[in-house]
């Protein structure tokens, strides 16, 4: 009996010693394998490699209009065409205008020509409904008399809304076509993205001045899910960085215009860059200041006779309809 018990204890002792020896011999191998895995790990999966460095957010909006411009006036912001923007989207721009002594008011409905009379600029941001012929004629007459027009569009995007009946998905489009086309301008439907030159995410593209405008102090700015814009015989002020794509094609790359000017009309392909959360990123505040200066330098002159000079040069816009090419 005692012999069997002794044999069992010897077997347990031998197995224990064997396990200890195996662990001691295999430990360095396990450590070596861990080191090899760390060495072979793809660097693009390391957190420090995949988290981009955001562009610095500093600066203030300091408009510096031409000294010959009036030190007071009125800017009208469109609210009458289902415009999609919030107070936070325009607060930095409105603050800059107010600091320069300008009044800011909204157009909601009714006689657009009457609201624009005496104003210096008209700001249209991402309208949800197209302009009717009568409103277009009112805006054309306004710019024909020296008023400034700023239009800001967006690419097509999908909006999800929830209600007691459930959720629905809708496609939102900027309805600038009927108005912008009368000035030989347009906003693209596809958004721009850049996987090499971006601020944190591929949809936040980096944008640079072309040198053809008066964007003093702007070296690099950003736009957020922007659309390309065009203007026949216009001046491109801002263009996307190289290797920018349109969302409809992964193969076509380029440097797309996102801000263009044609006489007394300015067109941009993004509104988010001037919002309270984004206006200080890179040199965005300088672009917002330029938009403010552009509007302040408007010089609306009411015609002495409403029926006079109906055939005024259509380059700056008049009440005379201009056919679309």
Q: pLDDT tens digits, residue range 110-137?
A: 999 999 999 999 999 999 999 999 999 9
- In a domain? residue 219: yes
pLDDT of residue 123: 98
Structure tokens at 214: 């008066």
Number of domains in the chain: 1
Whether residue 322 lies inside any domain: the answer is: no
273 is a domain residue:
yes
Say which DSSP state 54 is in: P
What's the whole-number mean pLDDT along residues 187-200?
92
Q: How many CA atoms lie within 13 A of 47 on its CB side?
A: 0
13 assigned to some structural domain: no
Separation between Cα atoms, residue 213 and residue 210, nearest integer Å = 7
Distance of CA 259 to the CA centre of its chain: 10
Rounded Cα gap, residues 282 and 275, in angstroms: 13
Angstrom distance (rounded) from CA 232 to CA 59:
34
Of 249 and 113, which is predicted with more confidence?
Answer: 113
Question: Strands 121-125 and 73-78: what pairing?
Answer: parallel
pLDDT tens digit sequence for 125-184: 999 999 999 999 999 999 999 999 999 999 998 766 666 666 767 778 999 999 999 999
Sign of CA dihedral 76, 81, 87, 90: negative
Residue 76: helix, strand or coil by DSSP?
Answer: strand
Pairwise CA distance, residues 124 & 132, whole Å: 14
- Nearest Cα neighbor of 230 from 210, 189, 259 is 259
Assess contact for 189 and 177: CB atoms under 8 A: no
Task: Please state, for a pLDDT cut of 90, what percent of the chain lies above it.
Answer: 55
**CA 201/CA 225 separation, integer angstroms:** 10
The structure tokens listed for 78 are: 């469109």
Other Cβ atoms within 10 Å of 317 Cβ, number: 26
- Range in 262-266, 271-275, 316-320 with the lowest mean pLDDT: 316-320
Confidence of residue 316 (pLDDT cuts 50, 70, 90): very low
Q: Decide if 314 is inside a domain.
A: no
Determine contact, residues 308/298, Cβ cutoff 8 Å. no
Tell me what pLDDT residue 264 has: 96
What is residue 183's predicted lDDT score, i.e. its pLDDT?
Answer: 97
Which pTM does this prediction carry?
0.74
In this prediction, residue 16 carries a pLDDT of 55
The chain-wide mean pLDDT, for the chain, equals 79
HSE-CB for 276 with a 13 A CA cutoff: 8
Domain CATH code at residue 110: 3.40.50.880
User: Would residue 18 count as lying in a domain?
Assistant: no
Q: Which has the minimum average pLDDT: 57-61, 72-76, 133-137, 198-202?
A: 57-61
Residue 33 lies in a domain: no
Copy the structure tokens of residue 149: 């027009």
Q: Is residue 3 part of a domain?
A: no
CA geometry: angle at 215 spanning 74 and 226, to 5°? 85
Coil/strand/helix, residue 322: coil
Structural domain boundaries enclosing 181: 72-300
Average pLDDT over residues 3-14: 52
């Amino acid at each position: 009996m005692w012999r069997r018990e002794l044999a069992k204890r010897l077997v347990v002792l031998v197995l224990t010693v064997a396990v200890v020896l195996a662990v001691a011999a295999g430990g360095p191998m396990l450590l070596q394998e861990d080191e090899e895995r760390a060495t072979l790990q793809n660097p693009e999966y390391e957190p420090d490699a995949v988290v981009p460095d955001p562009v610095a957010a500093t600066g203030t909006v300091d408009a510096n209009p031409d000294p010959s411009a009036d030190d007071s006036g009125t800017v009208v912001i469109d609210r009458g065409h289902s415009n999609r923007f919030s107070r936070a989207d325009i607060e930095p721009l409105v603050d800059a205008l107010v600091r320069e002594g300008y009044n800011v008011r909204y157009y909601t409905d009714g006689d657009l020509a009457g609201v624009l009379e005496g104003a210096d600029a008209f700001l249209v941001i991402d309208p949800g409904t197209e302009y009717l012929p009568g409103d277009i004629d009112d805006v054309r007459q306004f710019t024909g008399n020296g008023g400034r027009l700023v239009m800001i569009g967006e690419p097509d995007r999908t909006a999800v809304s929830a209600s007691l009946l459930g959720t629905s998905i809708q496609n939102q489009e900027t309805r600038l076509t009927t108005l912008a086309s009368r000035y030989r301008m347009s906003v693209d439907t596809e958004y721009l993205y850049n996987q090499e030159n971006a601020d944190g995410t591929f949809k936040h593209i980096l944008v640079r001045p072309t040198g053809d405008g008066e964007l003093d102090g702007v070296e690099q700015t950003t736009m957020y899910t922007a659309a390309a814009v065009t203007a026949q015989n216009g001046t491109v002020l801002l263009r996307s960085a190289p290797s920018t794509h349109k969302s409809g094609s992964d193969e076509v790359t380029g440097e797309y215009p996102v801000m263009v000017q044609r006489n007394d009309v300015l067109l941009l392909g993004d509104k988010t860059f001037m919002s309270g959360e984004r206006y200080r990123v890179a040199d965005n505040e300088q672009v917002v200041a330029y938009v403010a200066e552009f509007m302040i330098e408007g010089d609306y002159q009411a015609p002495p006779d409403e029926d006079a000079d109906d055939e005024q040069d259509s380059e700056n816009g008049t009440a005379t309809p201009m056919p679309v090419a």
